[in-house]
Each structure stands twice: as structure tokens, then as C-alpha cells.
């Protein structure tokens, strides 16, 4: 289902229109029902009074028992389709007398009172009227005379009035629909305006505009929601500002400490190299301690260098020095300089030209290959591929691979797949520095596992920098 069909605006519009139309229809049909009942009752009363008046005007002059002439005169006075009976005497004239049922005639005799019945033949609705003629004796007592009068009256004019009322009800309901839509649009616009403002403000807030706030109007639930949002935004802004300050202080502290350690570590490294050169002339226990100190000094130096590099990325001070590079040759030089030429298999075309920062490419490849050699198993392979747009460097080892969920966290700083391994040869920053160098070029690194092998890292770098139009 399209999203717009389930939106709040559409639902409000449909609900308002539905309620309005249902109300209008209910009111119109209630009015129609009331009018229909009134018209039928009025028609019945008018017809009854007319028949009784006509019968009364003749019955007062009748002699009893009546003869055929008297019945004919009474039937003529009633007018229209009518039937007058007295015992076996009958006077009848007009169509539709066949509608007079035995049930109606029996009811007149049993009740000795006027009886009405509505029927609806093919010719249209009719009203059947049956009434006995009552005579008054000399002592004033009213008794049945035995004469029965039946009349058939057409209700078609009344039915036409009822149909006209029904059509008016339908028109009223139809006219209510566009009015309901207009009112619904106005109401939805008024109700949804604060919601749209809240949505727009929330989007700006999510994009980093922490100073944005809503205008609070009125005192209803939407105004309360706006006030709650403003309070939340203010609290979040304060929290974010505090976190940013703490992060900035932490980064500054790391950068300052790293730079302060750099000079004494340079001295320690020089001393360590001298001691390493003299270690062969020392006693065994002194030699082991000296070599351990030298190794730890080198590790500390690499950690400080990595921290300084990370601080440059955090400060936005890292820049590229682009030059024409033979990628295959640069990777081969990287492996040879670190003594990895015999331990790593390189699969590269004869020449892949690109415009990159050679030093950062060297650091990137060295960190990925060094990670594969430390945490994987041989053989470690490096494959180079390129097309017109990008260069791809794939590093694969044959170790245990990345653990489940490790591909998402492997580039985090100081991440260790084995939480029990508190120390390793690396600083824990190599992969984080590698991915930062790739992104500085406008590329990225994907981590995963190679089917039938171990961990796989795929570096994608733009082959040539994009020129500004």
C-alpha cells in the first residue's frame, strides 16, 4: 500500500469525512422517516374523515331495512371505487374492488368499527377503508344497522410526496460530502501544522542543528508535546556539548602526551640500539633483559607514532600528497622493505598506474599485511586489480578468519577479537589507521572472510582524483 494512503493526514481526512457523512445521512433519513410517517398518517386521517362524512350525510335519511336504491344512493355518495352491502344486497362500482379481502370485511364485522388497510398492488399503493353504518334508535341508543361500506382510495399522490422527500434526503447527503471534505481539509491542516513543524524541526536536529526549537502555541496536547521536545532538545544539546568537550580534551591529551613522549623515546631508541649491538658480549640474563627492553621500547615507539597519526586524523590535519604511482611496484617495495617478500604472495598485473599518496598507500598495505601475518596463518596473498575508475587491493590469509560480528568492529581502535589476549605485537591501531587512509583518498575497506581461507580485506581506492568542474 502506498505510504501516503497510511499517512496521518489521509486518516484524519477519511475519519472526519466519514463521521460528517454518516451524521448527515442519519439526519437526512431520520427526517425522511418522520416526514413519511406524517404524510401517511395525514393521508389516512383525511381519507377516513372524508369517507365518514360522506356516509354520514346519507345514512341519516336512510330507512331500515334499506332497499337496493338506498344502497346505490349510499355508494354514489361515497364516490370512487366503493362497495356497500346489506345482507345479500350489494351495490358496487369502480376498479380495484378486488383488493377488498375477506380479512378486512371480517374485521369490520367483528369489531363493528372503522378498519383501515394499506396494500401495494402493481397500480400503486392503495388505502382500503371499511366501516359499518350505525343507526340511532328513538331512545338514543346507537346500534349496527347491518350496512357495511368499503372504499378504495389511491395513495399515489402521497407516495409521490414521500419519494420527493427521499430524493431530498439523498441530495442533502450528497451535498454534505464536499462540505465535509472542505471542513476535513481545514481541520487536518490546523491539526497537522504543528506535527509538520515538529517533523521538520526533528530532521534539522538530527542533521546536527542542535539550536533549533519549536514555537509553543496554545495550551493543548500539541503545545505540551512541543514544550517536551524543546526540553529534550536542550538536554541533548547540553549532553552533546559536554561529550564533545570531553572528547576534545581526551584527544588533545593523547596528542600532547604522544608528542611529549616522542623526544625521550627517540633517545631511548638510540640507547636501545647501542645496547642491542653490545648484547652479544653480555651475560645471558643481562642479554635477555636487554633484548626485552629493546623490543618493548620499539613497541612503545610504534604505539606513540600510531597515536600521533590518529590524532592528526581526529584533528583533520591529515592531508594527501598525490603523485603518479605504480601501485604494483609500490606494494612490492612495501613488502620488500619489511622483509615480507618470502612470506607473502603478490598477484599483480605488470603495471597499474594511479594518482595516490605513496606514503599512505605504503602504511595502508603494511598494516593490512602485518595484521594478516600476526593473526592469520600462511599463505598470505595480496591481489591487485584495477579498472578505469578504481584500484582494488585484496589481502587474504589462511587463519581462523574473523569471528561472527567482527567485520563490523574490526576497524575500531584497540579492537581485539580475542578478549583474553591483552598483549600483541601491534598497537591495536593499525586497521583503524588503514581505513582512515583509505577514506582520506575517497575510498574504503571491506572486511570479511574468504571461502576456503581466512580473513579477507578489500581496499578500494579511486584511481584518479576527481577534478572540480
Q: Which domains does the chain have, with CATH numbers?
A: 3-162 (3.30.450), 222-315 (1.10.287.130), 323-462 (3.30.565.10)
Residue range 115-136, pLDDT digits in tens: 888 888 887 888 888 888 887 6
**Residue 67 pLDDT:** 86
Band (361; pLDDT cuts 50, 70, 90): very high
Local confidence band at 145 (pLDDT 50, 70, 90 cut-offs): confident
Residue-level pLDDT at 5: 52
pLDDT band at 13 (very low <50, low <70, confident <90, very high): low
Q: What is the arithmetic mean of pLDDT over 273-286?
A: 79
pLDDT of residue 468: 43
- Most confidently modeled range among 152-161, 180-189, 317-326: 317-326
Taking residues 326-349, report their average pLDDT: 90
Q: Is the pLDDT of residue 423 over 70?
A: no
Q: Please report which confidence band the pLDDT of residue 6 belongs to, taking 50, 70 and 90 as the band edges.
A: low
pLDDT at 420: 41
pLDDT higher than 60, residue 425? no
Give the mean model confidence (pLDDT) for residues 17-24: 70
201 vs 436, residue with greater confidence: 436
Q: Name the percent of the chain lying above pLDDT 70.
A: 83
Write out the three cell numbers for 384: 591487485
Mean per-residue pLDDT of the chain = 80
Of all residues in the chain, what percent carry a pLDDT higher than 90? 17
Predicted confidence (pLDDT) at residue 384 exceeds the cutoff of 70: yes
- Give the model confidence (pLDDT) of 26-85 as tens digits: 766 676 667 667 777 787 788 888 888 888 888 777 777 888 888 888 888 888 888 888
Least confident piece of the model among 120-124, 165-169, 451-455: 165-169
pLDDT-based confidence at 422, cuts 50/70/90? Answer: very low
Looking at the whole model, is its pTM more than 0.95?
no
Query: 193-197, 211-215, 225-229, 403-407 — which is least confidently predicted?
Result: 193-197
Secondary structure (H, E, C), the chain: CCHHHHCHHHHHHHHHHHHHHHHHHHHHHHHHHHHHHHHHHHHHHHHHHHHHHHHHHHHCCCCCCCCHHHHHHHHHHHCCCEEEEECCEEEEECCCHHHCCHHHHHHHHHHCCCEEEEECCCCCCEEEEEEEEEEECCCCCEEEEEEEEEEEEECHHHHHHHHHHHHHHHHHHHHHHHHHHHHHHHHHHHHHHHHHHHHHHHHHHHCCCCCCCCCCCCCCHHHHHHHHHHHHHHHHHHHHHHHHHHHHHHHHHHHHHHHHHHHHHHHHHHHHHHHHHHHHHCCHHHHHHHHHHHHHHHHHHHHHHHHHHHHHHHHCCCCCCCEEEEHHHHHHHHHHHCCCCCCEEEECCCCCEEEECHHHHHHHHHHHHHHHHHHCCCCEEEEEEECCCEEEEEEECCCCCCCCCHHHHCCCCCCCCCCCCCCCCCCCCHHHHHHHHHHHCCCEEEEEECCCCCEEEEEEEECCCCCCC
Specify the pLDDT at position 421: 44
Q: Residue 220: its pLDDT value, please?
A: 72
Report pLDDT for 332. Answer: 92
Amino acid at each position: 500500500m502506498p505510504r501516503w494512503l497510511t499517512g496521518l493526514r489521509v486518516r484524519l481526512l477519511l475519519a472526519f469525512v466519514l463521521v460528517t457523512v454518516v451524521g448527515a445521512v442519519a439526519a437526512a433519513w431520520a427526517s425522511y422517516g418522520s416526514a413519511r410517517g406524517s404524510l401517511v398518517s395525514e393521508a389516512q386521517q383525511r381519507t377516513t374523515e372524508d369517507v365518514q362524512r360522506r356516509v354520514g350525510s346519507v345514512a341519516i335519511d336512510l330507512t331500515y331495512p334499506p332497499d337496493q336504491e338506498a344502497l346505490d344512493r349510499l355508494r354514489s355518495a361515497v364516490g370512487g371505487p366503493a362497495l356497500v352491502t346489506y345482507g345479500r344486497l350489494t351495490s358496487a362500482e369502480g376498479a380495484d374492488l378486488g383488493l377488498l379481502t375477506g380479512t378486512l370485511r371480517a374485521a369490520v364485522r367483528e369489531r363493528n368499527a372503522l378498519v383501515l388497510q394499506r396494500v401495494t398492488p402493481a397500480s400503486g399503493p392503495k388505502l382500503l377503508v371499511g366501516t359499518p353504518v350505525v343507526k340511532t334508535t328513538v331512545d338514543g341508543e346507537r346500534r349496527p344497522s347491518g350496512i357495511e361500506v368499503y372504499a378504495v382510495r389511491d395513495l399515489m399522490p402521497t407516495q409521490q410526496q414521500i419519494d420527493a422527500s427521499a430524493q431530498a434526503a439523498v441530495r442533502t447527503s450528497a451535498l454534505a460530502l464536499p462540505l465535509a471534505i472542505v471542513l476535513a481539509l481545514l481541520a487536518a491542516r490546523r491539526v497537522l501544522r504543528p506535527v509538520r513543524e515538529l517533523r521538520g524541526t526533528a530532521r534539522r536536529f538530527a542533521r546536527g542543528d542542535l539550536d533549533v526549537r519549536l514555537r509553543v502555541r496554545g495550551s493543548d496536547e500539541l503545545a505540551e508535546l512541543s514544550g517536551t521536545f524543546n526540553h529534550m532538545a536542550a538536554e541533548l544539546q547540553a549532553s552533546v556539548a559536554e561529550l564533545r568537550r570531553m572528547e576534545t580534551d581526551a584527544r588533545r591529551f593523547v596528542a600532547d602526551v604522544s608528542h611529549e613522549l616522542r623526544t625521550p623515546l627517540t633517545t631511548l631508541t638510540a640507547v636501545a640500539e647501542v645496547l642491542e649491538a653490545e648484547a652479544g658480549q653480555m651475560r645471558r640474563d643481562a642479554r635477555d633483559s636487554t633484548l626485552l627492553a629493546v623490543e618493548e621500547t620499539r613497541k612503545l615507539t610504534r604505539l606513540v607514532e600510531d597515536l600521533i597519526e590518529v590524532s592528526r586524523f581526529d584533528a583533520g590535519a591529515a592531508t594527501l600528497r598525490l603523485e603518479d604511482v605504480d601501485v604494483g611496484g609500490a606494494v612490492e617495495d612495501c613488502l620488500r622493505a619489511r622483509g615480507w617478500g618470502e612470506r607473502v604472495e603478490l598477484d599483480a598485473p605488470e603495471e597499474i598506474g594511479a594518482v595516490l599518496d605513496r606514503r599512505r598507500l605504503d602504511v595502508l598495505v603494511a598494516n593490512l599485511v602485518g595484521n594478516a601475518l600476526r593473526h592469520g596463518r600462511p599463505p598470505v596473498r595480496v591481489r591487485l586489480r584495477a579498472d578505469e575508475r578504481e584500484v582494488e587491493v585484496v589481502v587474504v590469509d589462511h587463519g581462523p578468519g574473523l569471528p561472527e560480528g567482527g567485520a563490523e568492529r574490526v576497524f575500531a581502535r584497540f579492537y581485539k577479537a580475542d578478549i583474553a589476549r591483552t598483549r600483541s605485537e601491534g598497537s591495536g591501531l593499525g586497521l583503524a589507521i588503514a581505513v582512515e587512509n583509505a577514506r582520506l583518498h575517497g575510498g574504503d575497506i571491506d572486511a570479511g572472510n574468504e571461502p576456503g581461507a581466512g580473513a579477507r580485506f578489500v581496499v578500494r581506492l579511486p584511481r584518479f582524483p576527481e577534478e572540480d568542474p
